[in-house]
């Protein structure tokens, strides 16, 4: 397996958790989500991945979108927030991630 393929699979697995975590803090537009993720380049959420993921999560009822009119001129933007199902899913995913991280860290040992 090539490293880039493996990294791609890691990113796919982490994308939903990362996005739900951000929306658990604030209602955000797709652009705002991308801006917040800019500092986390290894997670790899780009506009090509984030918008399909937002559509899927909205279709599944984990997030809800609400159109907001800007102050002054400009186009309306859709802001996303977690639904109750989304909050439950986020809590379950965070718990699962915590256990997974602990077990993998124990398995890998101290790399130094």
82-102 confidence digits (pLDDT tens): 999 999 999 999 999 999 999
So what's the pLDDT on residue 111? 66
- Tens of pLDDT, residues 29-62: 999 999 999 988 888 888 899 999 999 999 999 9
Q: What percent of the chain has pLDDT over 90?
A: 70
Phi and psi torsions of 64, nearest 5°: -130, 140
Whole-model pTM? 0.87
Helix (H, G, I), strand (E, B) or coil at 84: helix
Cα distances from 13 to residues 16, 45, 69, in angstroms, run: 7, 11, 33
């Amino acid at each position: 397996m090539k490293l880039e393929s493996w990294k791609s699979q890691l990113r796919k697995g982490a994308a939903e958790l990362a996005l739900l975590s951000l929306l658990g803090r604030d209602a955000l537009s797709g652009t705002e989500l991308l801006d917040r993720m800019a500092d986390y380049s290894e997670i790899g959420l780009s506009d090509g991945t984030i918008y399909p993921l937002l559509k899927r999560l909205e279709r599944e009822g984990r997030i809800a979108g609400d159109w907001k009119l800007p102050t002054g001129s400009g186009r309306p933007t859709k802001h996303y927030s977690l639904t109750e199902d989304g909050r439950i899913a986020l809590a379950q995913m965070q718990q699962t991630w915590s256990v997974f991280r602990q077990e993998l860290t124990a398995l890998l040992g101290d790399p130094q």
